[in-house]
Amino acid sequence: MNAFDRDQNADIAVLHYGDGEYTVLRPGRHVLCAVTSQKIPVDTLRYWNPILQEAYAGPAEALQRWKALNP
């Protein structure tokens, strides 16, 4: 391992999702979408579920997850 090798998980933030806001528990550059596993930069995160504590890449993914949970 050299100075340019980076741990891929080191950039993943840990957040606590609340109603309309989130709290950073461990700083990082991105979180993972619960539906697609896509990396979502923390500064562009707009969709999450505070009950399930999940982040979503966009409204389509949030709706897909809601439909899966509410058949």
Q: Nearest Cα to 28, choosing from 49, 47, 7?
A: 7
Distance between terminal CA atoms of the chain?
Answer: 48
Distance (Å, whole) CA 70 – CA 10: 34
The structural domains of the chain, with segments of one domain joined by +, span: 34-71
Q: Are 47 and 59 in contact (CB under 8 A)?
A: yes
Confidence band for 1, pLDDT divided at 50, 70 and 90:
very low
Given this model, what pLDDT does residue 13 score?
A: 97
Give the tens place of pLDDT for each residue, 38-66: 999 999 999 999 999 999 999 999 999 99
Listed in sequence order, the residues at least 6 apart from 28 whose beta carbon sits closer than 8 Å to its beta carbon are: 10, 11, 12, 13, 14, 42
Comparing 1 with 19, which gets the higher pLDDT?
Answer: 19
> What percent of the chain stands above pLDDT 70?
86
